[in-house]
Copies of this chain bind each other. A is one copy, B any other.
C-alpha cells in the first residue's frame, strides 16, 4: 500500500462534533479518484484531537467507503499505553496500516522514541508507517535511530519531511542543462540515498510537505503522503504520474503551477486550514469545518483559494 499517492483528508467538524456525512463525501471522492491509499486520520485528519471512539468511527467509515483502497490511521498519543489502545481500536475498524509519530508535550529523547516504536512494533498486526514531523513533535530522527527502528518487525514505511527536496527542486529548476547524473547529486537525492542504505529494502520511503512532493517523487521516493491530495487527488496523481514516467520537468512544472497554494500553506501555518477551506468551497462541509481553537482562513484568502481552484481546475 505504500506507493503513489497516500491521500490525507481532513476530519470535518460541525458545531464541535465530527460531521460523518461530510467525511463520507471526502472519502468517496478519494475512492472515485482511485488513489493508492487513504490516511483517514493523519495530522490533517486531526488524530491527536479525537477520542479513541472517534478514531474508531472515522477509521471504520473510511474503510467502509474506500471501495477496497487500503486505509491507514494515525495512532500517536502522549502515553504509549494510549498508542497501543489506539492501535487496537483502528485495527478493529479494519485499517491496513497505522501511522505513528512520536507525539510529545514534554520533549522526548532518542531512547524514549526507540522504546515507543519497539513496544508498538511487537503489538501491531498491520505495518507501521514511521512518521517524522519535527514541526509538530519537536523531535528529529537521527540516522542511528532510523537504523535501529528499521530492524524492528512490522515497519512498512517512513514518512520524512520534504525539506531537503526543496534544494533538489531549486537545483533542477535553475540548472536545466546539467546532465541528470549531476542534477541528482542534490541534497534531497543524497538524503534519500542515505536512507535507502540505512533502511532495509522492503521499507518504503515517502515524502511529505506538499510543496516538496514533486521533487521527492522525481528523486525516487516510493510515495507522497499528501494533504492537498486529500481534497484534490487527481491533481496530485497527475504530478506523480509525470514523475514516475521520467518526466521530471513536467512534474516540477505542474507543482510550480500550484505555487499559489504553497504560498497559501506557508501564510496559514501549514495545509490544514487551507484544505479545510477548500472542502468548504467545494461543498463537502459547512464553515467552520475545524474544531475550536482553529479559525477559518480570512475572507481574502478564501477568495484567492476559490480563484486558484477554478483557474487551475483542481480536482
Chain B contacts for A269, CB-based, 8 A: 106-109
The docked-state distance in angstroms from the alpha carbon of A136 to that of B139 is 11
Whether the Cβ atoms of A106 and B43 lie closer than 8 Å is yes
Contact with A292, one of B80, B102, B295 (Cβ below 8 angstroms): B80
Known: A48-B78, A49-B79, A78-B49. A293 touches B106 (CB 8 A): no
The docked-state distance in angstroms from the alpha carbon of A136 to that of B105 is 5
The docked-state distance in angstroms from the alpha carbon of A49 to that of B104 is 9
The docked-state distance in angstroms from the alpha carbon of A16 to that of B84 is 12
Chain B contacts for A111, CB-based, 8 A: 295
Within 8 A of B (CB), among A202-219: none
Flag whether A135 is at the interface (Cβ < 8 A).
yes
Within 8 A of B (CB), among A80-109: 80-81, 102-103, 105-109
Query: Which of A49, A107, A293 lies at the interface centre, i.e. has the most chain B CB atoms within 10 A of its CB?
Result: A293
Copies in the complex: 2
- Shortest beta-carbon distance, A42 to chain B, in Å? 11
Contact with A105, one of B43, B80, B107, B292 (Cβ below 8 angstroms): B43
Q: Which residue of B lies closest to A114 (CB)?
A: B293
Known: A48-B78, A78-B49, A81-B16. A294 touches B112 (CB 8 A): yes
Whether the Cβ atoms of B292 and A115 lie closer than 8 Å is yes
Whether the Cβ atoms of B106 and A136 lie closer than 8 Å is yes
Looking at chain A's contact residues, the main secondary structure is loop
- Shortest beta-carbon distance, A142 to chain B, in Å? 15
Interface size class of A (residues with CB under 8 A): 20 to 34
Chain B contacts for A138, CB-based, 8 A: 135-136, 138
Whether the Cβ atoms of A103 and B105 lie closer than 8 Å is yes
Q: Mark A136-174, 1 if CB is under 8 A from B, else 0.
A: 101000000000000000000000000000000000000
Known: A106-B272, A138-B138, A270-B106. A295 touches B46 (CB 8 A): no
The docked-state distance in angstroms from the alpha carbon of A72 to that of B115 is 33
Known: A103-B105, A106-B272. A115 touches B48 (CB 8 A): no
The docked-state distance in angstroms from the alpha carbon of A102 to that of B292 is 12
Q: Mark A244-286, 1 if CB is under 8 A from B, else 0.
A: 0000000000000000000000000110100000000000000
The docked-state distance in angstroms from the alpha carbon of A244 to that of B207 is 55
Q: Which residue of B lies closest to A102 (CB)?
A: B293
Within 8 A of B (CB), among A46-94: 46, 48-49, 78-81
Chain B contacts for A49, CB-based, 8 A: 78-79, 105
Chain B contacts for A107, CB-based, 8 A: 135-136, 269-270
Flag whether A113 is at the interface (Cβ < 8 A).
yes
Flag whether A308 is at the interface (Cβ < 8 A).
no
- Shortest beta-carbon distance, A104 to chain B, in Å? 8
Question: What are the 4 A-B residue pairs with the smallest beta carbon separation, nearest first?
Answer: A80-B292, A116-B293, A112-B293, A48-B105
Residues of A within 8 A of B (CB): 16, 43, 46, 48-49, 78-81, 102-103, 105-109, 111-113, 115-116, 119, 135-136, 138, 269-270, 272, 291-295
